[in-house]
Structure 1
Amino acid sequence: MPQSTRSSESAPTLAEVARRAGVSTATASRVLNRSARVSAELAARVESAAHDLAYVRRRAPSTRDTGVVAVVVFADPLQYHVDAFHVRLLSGLRRALPGADRELAVFTVPRRSRRAPLVRYLCGGHADGVLLVGPWGDIALARLLHAAGVPVVSLGRPPEPGAVAFVDADNLTGARDAVQRLCASGHRSVATVAGPPDTAVGADRLAGYHQVVRQARPTVRPAVAYGDFSSASGEHAMHRLLDQRPDLDAVFVASDQMAAGALRALRRRGLRVPEDVAVIGFDDAPVAARSRPGLTTVRQPVEELGSRALELLLQNPVRGESVVLPTRLVPRASG
């Protein structure tokens, strides 16, 4: 979405939208409220102006809470239903709900989908606050929510510093701890299966890997392949790494779901874990304890992330406010 050209932090007005579109304020109001038919060309001009200025019809002041907190999860719906992270997160959110008179409204939104209906709902006075979960991309949605006076918190570091309050795990330190364990164990060809580099969590865990490997050079040889946090992508990435680096003896995988796929690839290549290749994951998802061998991993406190994010949201946080929770290495048999 295009960025606003406004130099002020104040919310744009209907009159400004009308001036930008070259129409009267009454006409702009009719277009945005859909209260009268206008030409397609004129409607497009007004809607484009409102989009560019991040104009949102302000909700009327309310004397009572709606009792609803909106949770917007940016993920493919199929992945949302199979990823234990979301189950654990919602558990933490529900435990933190203050009293029985509040409810969660959960929306799953593919990353590349059109968001206009969602924006109209979230900015229309239907929720007391919005929690953004996952790789939500550009900051346009957060800007629209701020302009509409809707409290918003990101679960995960936002794509632009200071754009929105957030709660996150210390992904950088967690990744460093995992890779340092592999290097300290004497491994000399340490690769990583990284998450999408255009997401904060993928970038932070990859940065932690690179920091440790750079410190260990020239004794440790790096290699990187990318996945999308799914099990299938971890399996494919592991095969690519083994093709590139036959002498590979350790791998840090940026999620336990991808690590489960990596373990399958190693078994299919006839390689033993940890005797031939040591493996460490990230998340401490249920699949880590079920794996054979048990998966050494980095635990992030998912339930606490949810509860702390909801607490912050209900305090009407300021932009840039943040809570970063520590991670912990959980040793098992894989590495």
Structure 2
Amino acid sequence: MSQTAQRPTGPNGPQRSQNPQGSQGSQGSQGEPGGSGRASTRVPAGAARPTLEEVAALAGVGRGTVSRVVNGSPRVSEKAREAVNAAIAELGYVPNRAARTLVTSRTDSIALVVPEAETRLFSEPYFSDIISGVSAELAETDMQLLLILVRNQRERERLSAYLTAQRVDGVLLVSVHQDDPLPSLLESLEIPSVLAGRRGDLEPLSYVHADNAGGARMAVRHLLRRGCQEVATITGPLDMEGARARLSGYRQALEEAGRPYREELVGPGDFTEAGGRLAMRELLERRPGLDAVFCASDVMAAGALQVLRAAGRRVPDDVAVIGFDDSIVARHTDPPLTSVRQPIEEMGRTMARLLLEEIAEQGRARRQVVLATELVVRESA
């Protein structure tokens, strides 16, 4: 797979042995986990390896509960999970991943797919924060995380073949564009999938995103309360629902305040620093009297600040600036950037958690999660 990086999500990666763990079963209730203070029953070297049933008996739970713990399912009480893990350690039980793969078609791998160029992946904090959140959620499981970049048609075809061959148990798709065929591919393959964002209001796949419109409204209301009269915006790419929602929130805040929405105050951007610089130059040429700008990302806001400084505009005295994301960029601009915080690491964690649940329970209804945003006020506005 082109541009694919793989890394273990646990401290030592997945364990392998020659003893089958048995298929996942649902029989047996959790019961009351076994107590502590037992004499060690670890099997001596050369003796028969402990079985899943023996772990269940020692832990005082059903076989299905042990299977769910081993497979990383979240649908186990903490008390039962601790009892099972203690029994596993005491018996020296080692799940046989190879045998389970043959029986269940599970690979213990998740693909994090990013349909963007590597320059964006490695330069924008959004992506690293998503990956950090996903990795943190998978850290206590045996799942491997595969990072796959898809930048052209050839790589899309390779990914399609890879997914069709059932090389992964599920997919996390980040940076969803309106015309991207990947969500439809995931839907047709019926592979467990969770998106960061959505294509529209009727998105059929599970997704996690922030309240983009609400965050934009907060930003523009703050600028209006400061007394700003001519508030511009630099948008993200409008083939992405998140960027459209932020533009919608900008417009709603103006209309609520009785201000007209003017196209000449809207600068198209692309979530990059260069895009922020270009849009800011064009806005100043069209509307030299503007006194505020809401940028749909911190990275674009950083580019806008550079142009304003070069034009001799003081921030925030002449032009107030607000970004979106509250990324590390916001804390290191000059002046530090007021920004709408979206909980990006939490988004990554939530995406991974939803995907694990879909993998563990095939046929589970798809879910949509919207996380709250908040305005973090610094010196730029």
Tell me the TM-score normalized by structure 1: 0.78
1:45-194 equivalences under 5 Å are: 62-63=103-104, 65-97=106-138, 99-110=140-151, 115-138=156-179, 140-159=181-200, 161-194=202-235
Distance 1:318 1:156 in 2: 20
SS of 2:274's equivalent in the other structure is helix
168-177 vs 116-125, greater mean Cα deviation: 116-125
Structure 1 position 319, deviation (Å): 6.2
Task: Verify the 8 A CA contact 2:177 2:239 in the aligned structure 1.
Answer: no
Residues 275-305 of structure 1 deviation map (CA, whole Å, 9 limit, x = unaligned): 0000000001111001111100001101000
The 1:105–1:291 alpha-carbon spacing in structure 2 relative to 1, beyond 3 Å, is same
The 1:205–1:240 alpha-carbon spacing in structure 2 relative to 1, beyond 3 Å, is same
Pick one of 258, 271, 285 that aligns with 1:217: 258
How many residues align? The count is: 276
Tell me the TM-score normalized by structure 2: 0.68
Q: Residue type matched to 2:244 in 1?
A: A
Residues 56-109 of structure 1 deviation map (CA, whole Å, 9 limit, x = unaligned): xxxx98525311110101111111111111111111001000535211101111
Structure 1 position 148, deviation (Å): 2.8
Q: Residue type matched to 2:375 in 1?
A: L
SS of 1:281's equivalent in the other structure is strand
Pick one of 315, 322, 336 that aligns with 1:273: 315
Distance 1:230 1:173 in 2: 22
Q: Residue type matched to 2:174 in 1?
A: V
Distance 2:310 2:136 in 1: 42
Residue in structure 2 matched with residue 233 of structure 1 by the alignment:
275
Distance 1:99 1:282 in 2: 31
Residues 133-189 of structure 1 deviation map (CA, whole Å, 9 limit, x = unaligned): 002434643333333331011111234613211000111100000000001111110
**Are residues 1:321 and 2:321 paired?**
no
Distance 2:156 2:131 in 1: 22
Structure 1 position 216, deviation (Å): 2.2
Task: Verify the 8 A CA contact 1:188 1:220 in the aligned structure 2.
Answer: no
The 1:140–1:319 alpha-carbon spacing in structure 2 relative to 1, beyond 3 Å, is farther
Distance 2:173 2:103 in 1: 23
The 1:114–1:103 alpha-carbon spacing in structure 2 relative to 1, beyond 3 Å, is closer
Task: Verify the 8 A CA contact 2:108 2:168 in the aligned structure 1.
Answer: yes
Q: Residue type matched to 1:266 in 2?
A: L
Structure 1 position 126, deviation (Å): 0.9
SS of 1:332's equivalent in the other structure is coil
Task: Verify the 8 A CA contact 2:133 2:347 in the aligned structure 1.
Answer: yes
Q: Residue type matched to 1:280 in 2?
A: I
SS of 2:352's equivalent in the other structure is helix
SS of 2:113's equivalent in the other structure is strand
Bigger radius of gyration: 2
SS of 1:251's equivalent in the other structure is strand
Gapped runs of 5+ residues in structure 1? 1-59
Gapped runs of 5+ residues in structure 2? 1-100
